[in-house]
Amino acid sequence: MTTKVNKTILVNVPVSTAYEQWTHFEEFPHFMGGVERVTRLSDDRLEWVADIAGVHRRWEAKIVQQDTDRAVAWAAVDGAKNAGWVDFKEAGAGQTSLHLNLEYEPHGVLEYLGDKLHVIERQAESDLKKFKAFIEKKGPDTVVETEAAAPATPIVDPVTHAFDQTNGLVDIEGDSDETAESDTHSAAERNKDQDGPGFIPPIGGLPGQR
């Protein structure tokens, strides 16, 4: 006799996030009661170790379906029937409706009694609530903010702005006159000096007089 369990829950994360977390089968023990360990044996094979209705069991399952952001299904490769699948559907902005389906055949007296007492059904409901709390607690991926880039150095035309030998930088103020004095005095200081006693204008006259 096969027992079926169907449960649905709404989780406050995008479909892609819910799907990615669920397909990390190795993390099932974080939110699935009774599951002690899930080991990935290959791309489509898993080994389960769990305590089901008081019975310690180990079995191998195969991933029989895996549609990105839509569904994933698995089933025991031998022994009593034990299969499950999950559907993921968008339920609004940043929300996912997750529907869990389980099918299994009780094995032994304890599992049979557990089935009659709906132990697996209650466990499935509890597991979905734990999954919701587990994935929502993780929250969205941390966004790493990068520092603002420093303003770019202005592009200066070397034809109109002479090179300033004092510091090896382009003279964007245009006060270099390619003389030794321009290397040690500012434009204001040079203008002031021009008005002082003993001032001798350069050959060719002052600017505007040439």
| Predicted model pTM | 0.61
Domain boundaries, the chain: 3-138, 163-194
For the cut 90, the answer to whether the pLDDT of residue 25 exceeds it is yes
Instruction: Pick the closest to residue 15 from 102, 86, 83, 101 (CA basis).
Output: 86
Predicted confidence at residue 150, as pLDDT, reads 37
* pLDDT per residue as tens digits for the range 90-104: 998 899 999 999 888
**Poorest-confidence range of 86-90, 101-105, 109-113, 188-192?**
109-113
167 or 111: which leads in pLDDT: 111
What is the full DSSP assignment across 60-129?
A: EEEEEEEETTTEEEEEESSSS-EEEEEEEEE-STT-EEEEEEEEE---HHHHHHHHHTTHHHHHHHHHHH
Residue 180, burial from CB neighbour count under 10 angstroms (0-12, 13-18, 19+): exposed
CATH of span 3-138: 3.30.530.20
* pLDDT per residue as tens digits for the range 66-81: 999 999 999 999 877 8
